[in-house]
Structure 1
Amino acid sequence: MPAAGTGPRTSTRQIGPYTVITRLDDKNTAPGAAVPEHRFIARSPDGDRTVLLSRPLPTVDPQRFMAEADASRYLLGPWILPATELAPPGDQPWHARPYLPVLPLPTALAVHGGPLPERTVRALGVALAETLAVLHGQQLCHAGLSPSAVLLAADGPRLSSFGAVRAAAPDGTPRHGTPGLDAGSLPPEQATGGQPRPMGDVYALGATLAYAATGHTAPERDELPAALRSLVPRCLARDPVHRPQLAEIVAGLADEGAAGPTGMESATRAESLLTPGWLPARIIAALAHQSASVLAAEVELPVHPQPPTGAPTAMPHPSH
């Protein structure tokens, strides 16, 4: 059987105008499989458009969820996946973005059969650090980076779940054990209810890279590949002051040895690493299988109710 997210099942479930094809996430993949939303691959009523669709967990405030989705529409960055369509007012909350074949990072590790190669993790780290640098340049923080927030596509990662920490629980509220938040990648200051800030994204980035490289978010130093043995423990410092800047992370993972520019200027650093072969063959095969299966999926589109047999039908009024 294919791992969840690699092949669809037919379905008649409706979310807004869309018919669900399959779940994107494998509920049995753990640890790291935690986002405050259910994510699906779905199709439009006319069958012409396929989307990645999200709706909040029952424990998440729908207004906060939709506010974060709305804010994500204006995000910049080379490797971010913002919402492009929102549920209309009065509808159950959901948001969607165009479909592309992707696997959540925990699913990718399950497909690969274990931690990812160092080359993959380094490319992933540079791309995510560049994206966070662009967000921070907009005076924003992601506040939701975790293993499951990272979706792997053939040409590079996509960062999703913007504002997940804020959507899951308001500032000032302890977030320990909050459904939908991965405890291992939640910065300590946010776990106690603090307002998300940029250096919290650095903590979450370190935990996510640790997960990609070892299969868990808090490994021992000698479990990490050489390129991460200095950076990851510093990212995971409890005191934000001791965490590295994103420029240093980009430079270290790109093997440039010194900090350099971040943001749009440094986009070519990730591009130089995201070359053919950056993903292991099993993950590429799973993405191809997902794409082919979604393309071939036949879903039963909703049928509008018909009047009962024998019910009167409208007739033109007879002339007299």
Structure 2
Amino acid sequence: MIGPYRVAAKLGEGGMGQVFLASSPSRRLVAVKVIRSELLDDPHWRERFRREVVSAQSVSGFYTAPVVDADPDADHPWLATQYINGVSLSAAVTEKGPLPEQAACRLGAGLAEALIAIHRVGIVHRDLKPSNVLLAADGPRVIDFGIARPLDAVPLSRSQILGTPAYMSPEQALGETVTPSSDVFSLGATLVYAAIGRAPFGSGRKVRGRIVYGEPDLTDLPDPMRGLVTRCLSKEANERPSPEQVLTALSTLLDAHYGEEWLPAAVATLIGEHEQTVTEATAILPSTY
């Protein structure tokens, strides 16, 4: 049990916590994130988890997973969000290949709407990347506010830089002030991955330097998306479009070039397989608490 929720299966883990599929007393499925046991005695990590809870609770929108319950003061702090039946963008691309142009544009539009909702409450996500994007039948979801920070937060020192190097903005990589434009850079990098199956600046130890000083490799990126993504990946934060402008541009592309279809059949099948696994995991839960 985690709080009032009965655990059915492990969904994943990250640097700060583990995420479990669980069931409420009324049998509603939730995803419960729990801070790692080895971090419990460190006040820094407890405070960071508390910030995540506050950030996640403040955001609402079509393309984020709403918080349903939390106890950051528990002996073992936890956060429960609505369970989203979907697979991560990273898993979908790894197993089924890049998304078709139309699906990539729909993805980008959904991510832009998510950023609008996040920024509206004064938060910068700071870790938008393929593994933090869930693909569901009704659209994408942005998850994991583990390193999100308020807009007015004191900048981190270079020794405290957090995030995923391949998807962070140049200013984030340098430990400079991070604004909502940083999330737009990460959105652009995530779209490149979705459309061609790799990050625009590659990976490895030197990726941070390439992000700061190099140029993105947009080879094979579909032409209708190239101009917008290029602007999102500008080194200068004030030259990037706002999430609202990204949404308008992608909506225009969808109207002009594509239809309404969302996920390709292969990814829909992957989601179906995941749903079957969840059904099997929850079937063994007792009917009463």
Shorter-chain TM-score tier: 0.7 to 0.9
Distance 1:175 1:76, change over 3 A: farther
Match of 2:234 in 1: 237
Match of 1:200 in 2: 182
Distance 1:82 1:163, change over 3 A: farther
Asked if 1:210 is matched to 2:192, the reply is yes
Q: Relative to structure 2, which stretch is displaced further, 290-299 or 91-100?
A: 290-299
Out of 40, 50, 54, the position equivalent to 2:20 is 40
1:154-175 per-position Cα deviation (integer Å, ceiling 9, x unaligned): 01011111252549xx832326
1:6-29 per-position Cα deviation (integer Å, ceiling 9, x unaligned): xxxxxxxx544434333334x8xx
What are structure 2's unaligned runs of at least 5 residues? 201-215
1:15-71 per-position Cα deviation (integer Å, ceiling 9, x unaligned): 44434333334x8xxxxxx77543232234x47232112234557712212222223
Higher strand share: 2
Distance 1:137 1:51, change over 3 A: closer
* Counterpart contact for 2:7–2:21, Cα < 8 Å: yes
Out of 31, 35, 52, the position equivalent to 1:52 is 31
Say which SS state the counterpart of residue 202 (structure 1) adopts. helix
Say which SS state the counterpart of residue 20 (structure 2) adopts. strand
Asked if 1:226 is matched to 2:226, the reply is no
Q: TM-score, normalized by length of structure 1? A: 0.71
> Amino acid of the residue matched to residue 20 of structure 2?
F
Say which SS state the counterpart of residue 144 (structure 1) adopts. coil
Matches within 5 A, 1:112-123: 112=96, 114-123=97-106
**Bigger relative CO (Cα 8 Å, ≥ 6 apart):** 1
Asked if 1:248 is matched to 2:228, the reply is no
Q: TM-score, normalized by length of structure 2? A: 0.78
Distance 1:20 1:192, change over 3 A: farther
Asked if 1:126 is matched to 2:109, the reply is yes
* Counterpart contact for 1:176–1:191, Cα < 8 Å: no
Distance 1:75 1:293, change over 3 A: same
* Counterpart contact for 2:65–2:82, Cα < 8 Å: no
What are structure 1's unaligned runs of at least 5 residues? 1-13, 28-33, 258-268, 305-320
Distance across 2 between alignment mates of 1:88 and 1:243: 36
Match of 2:9 in 1: 22
Distance 1:56 1:206, change over 3 A: farther
1:169-211 per-position Cα deviation (integer Å, ceiling 9, x unaligned): x832326885xx3211112212333343111111111111111
1:233-287 per-position Cα deviation (integer Å, ceiling 9, x unaligned): 2212222122122233223222369xxxxxxxxxxx8xxx894x41011221222
Structure of higher CA gyration radius: 1
Match of 2:49 in 1: 65
Distance across 1 between alignment mates of 2:148 and 2:123: 13
Out of 168, 191, 203, the position equivalent to 1:186 is 168
Distance across 1 between alignment mates of 2:58 and 2:140: 19
Q: CA RMSD in A?
A: 3.2
Matches within 5 A, 1:60-209: 61-87=45-71, 89-112=73-96, 114-162=97-145, 164-166=147-149, 171-174=155-158, 178=162, 181-209=163-191
Give the % identical residues: 33
Higher helix share: 2
Say which SS state the counterpart of residue 191 (structure 2) adopts. helix
Say which SS state the counterpart of residue 81 (structure 1) adopts. coil
